Amino acid sequence: METKELLKRLIAFATVSSDSNLELIDFVQSLLATKGIRSELVFNADHSKAAMFASIGPAGKPGLLLSGHSDVVPVKGQNWTTDPFTGTEKDGKIYGRGSCDMKGFIASAIQIMLAFADKPLDRPVHLAISFDEELGCLGIKDLLLQLQHLKVEPYLCIVGEPTSMNIATGHKGKTSFRTHCCGDEAHSSQAPLHTNAIYLACDVIAHLRNLQAELMTSGARDEAYNIPHSTVHVGTIEGGRSLNIVPGECQFVFEIRYLPGDDIDTYLDNLFKQAEMLVQQAQQAHPATKAAITFDCLTRYPGLDTPADHLSVRQLQALLPDETKTLKVAFGSEGGLFAEYLSAPVVVCGPGSIDQAHKPNEFISLAQLQQCDDLLNKLVPEICFNRSEHD
Ligand SMILES: [Zn+2]
């Protein structure tokens, strides 16, 4: 099967993050098994989703690890001109949800596993497929623990998110929280006697805006990013019941995307202490009423910061066209987690452009898919053939 045909098969599995990915994983496992490739699964708690890990070549040696996520973002409310879960070929492109983010890379990586399964490799090639990446890199962690246990130490790890086949050696880390502020409801004519949950939320948000200003002026800087500092952002807020009731509840979500040079835990500790102080002040002002602020962590993944001159990265660079850029990307990926858990050199490099990801009429060009096939066909021999024991 050609890579593009395999991609169409993968698109047909509607693996939106909220739904099961087991049919896709079962299909991939069966396909790998036709070449005798064994794979293992790591399930989520209710067994509705699984991450998959497969290897070819000798175990116990550092090899090439190719990684992708099976889940895709929803299509609901988006205006598609083709069926998003039918891979549609038109004008040198394949349209469909997940075509570029990131089933194109997965199709290419599966092809490479099949093509080299019966070749005499001196180093292994691994394929890791995760789930729940689009929910904040949630579905890779148990698999990474399993890989630690198996002592998998990649020589090079490629996370195939769409970079138009450029090499991304870095991205920011990210953490996000839901903040819940509680006051007490009362007739609005009595407002000064009660704690207003919306006011509490506004005070916490004011602290977040000060934090953004501080990070901009005195935080870490990396000019390789278009926004060269860590960023703070409040995305949604809701609270209150009606104008004539003092609001008892208000909640909002915020994220911090941080550079490795910023000590994010210290900033968060300060935020939590500030919130405690606000609660104490509210309770002092209105002793008979209640006040509370709680923070629920929604996501947390580390940034990626692989040295661009790392030997493994340079080997990869040498196989790509001269115009290939080495850069840092604005979006997050599982790459930071791979680097943290496996101490491996990790890059993000995959076909398609992030400009097409998550949008209606998402597509990948056949030229990009071909470039990815070409790269992997050169990279496996480069890294996994004719290596002496001393490498
Ligand atoms: Zn992605």
For the chain, which domains are there? 3-171+303-384 (3.40.630.10), 173-301 (3.30.70.360)
pLDDT tens track for 196-226: 999 999 999 999 999 999 999 999 999 999 8
Average pLDDT (132-156) is: 93
Tokens of 160: 């195939």
* Ligand 1 center to 358 CA (angstroms): 9
pLDDT value at residue 288:
79
Average pLDDT (166-170) is: 96
The residues, ordered by sequence, that sit 6+ positions from 233 with a Cβ below 8 Å of its Cβ are 254, 255, 256, 257
Q: Is the pLDDT of residue 92 over 60?
A: yes
Average pLDDT (137-145) is: 93
Average pLDDT (158-187) is: 96
pLDDT tens track for 304-353: 999 999 999 999 999 999 999 999 998 999 999 999 999 899 999 999 99
* Ligand 1 center to 66 CA (angstroms): 14
* Ligand 1 center to 133 CA (angstroms): 7
Q: SS3 letters for the chain?
A: CCHHHHHHHHHCCCCECCCCCHHHHHHHHHHHHCCCCCEEEEECCCCCCEEEEEEECCCCCCCEEEEEECCECCCCCCCCCCCCCCCEEECCEEECCCHHHHHHHHHHHHHHHHHHCCCCCCCCEEEEEECCHHHCCCCCHHHHHHHHHCCCCCCEEEECCCCCCCEEEEECEEEEEEEEEECCCCEHHHHHHCCCHHHHHHHHHHHHHHHHHHHHHHCCCCCCCCCCCCEEEEEEEEECCCCCECCCEEEEEEEEEECCCCCHHHHHHHHHHHHHHHHHHHHHHCCCCCCEEEEEEEEEECCEECCCCCHHHHHHHHHCCCCCCEEEECCCCCHHHHHHHHCCCEEECCCCCHHHCCCCCCEEEHHHHHHHHHHHHHHHHHHHCCCCCCC
- Give the Cα separation of 377 and 112 in Å (integer): 7
* Ligand 1 center to 307 CA (angstroms): 22
Q: How many other β-carbons are positioned within 10 Å of the β-carbon of residue 29?
A: 18
Q: Is the pLDDT of residue 391 over 80?
A: no
* Ligand 1 center to 207 CA (angstroms): 32
Phi, psi for 337 (deg, rounded to 5) = -70, -40
* Ligand 1 center to 106 CA (angstroms): 11
Cα 83 versus chain centre, distance: 25
Whether 349 contacts 145, CB under 8 Å: no
Confidence bin at 290 (pLDDT 50/70/90): confident
The amino acid at residue 5 is E
Per-chain mean pLDDT for the chain: 95
- Give the Cα separation of 32 and 125 in Å (integer): 13
Cα 50 versus chain centre, distance: 16
Residues, CB within 5 angstroms of ligand 1 (ion)? 101-102, 161
* Ligand 1 center to 243 CA (angstroms): 42
* Ligand 1 center to 69 CA (angstroms): 7
* Ligand 1 center to 206 CA (angstroms): 32
* Ligand 1 center to 102 CA (angstroms): 5
* Ligand 1 center to 68 CA (angstroms): 8
* Least-confidence region, from 36-45, 263-272, 286-295: 286-295
Average pLDDT (88-114) is: 97
* Ligand 1 center to 7 CA (angstroms): 15
- With a pLDDT cut of 70, the percent of the chain lying above it is 99
Q: Is the pLDDT of residue 101 over 90?
A: yes
* Ligand 1 center to 250 CA (angstroms): 32
Q: Is the pLDDT of residue 387 over 80?
A: no
> Between 260 and 364, whose confidence is greater?
364
Confidence bin at 388 (pLDDT 50/70/90): low
* Ligand 1 center to 271 CA (angstroms): 30
pLDDT value at residue 390:
46
Q: Is the pLDDT of residue 85 over 90?
A: yes
* Ligand 1 center to 256 CA (angstroms): 19
Q: How many other β-carbons are positioned within 10 Å of the β-carbon of residue 277?
A: 13
pLDDT value at residue 201:
98
Average pLDDT (130-143) is: 93
pLDDT tens track for 241-287: 999 999 999 999 999 999 989 999 999 999 999 999 999 999 999 88
pLDDT value at residue 72:
97
pLDDT value at residue 90:
96
* Ligand 1 center to 159 CA (angstroms): 9
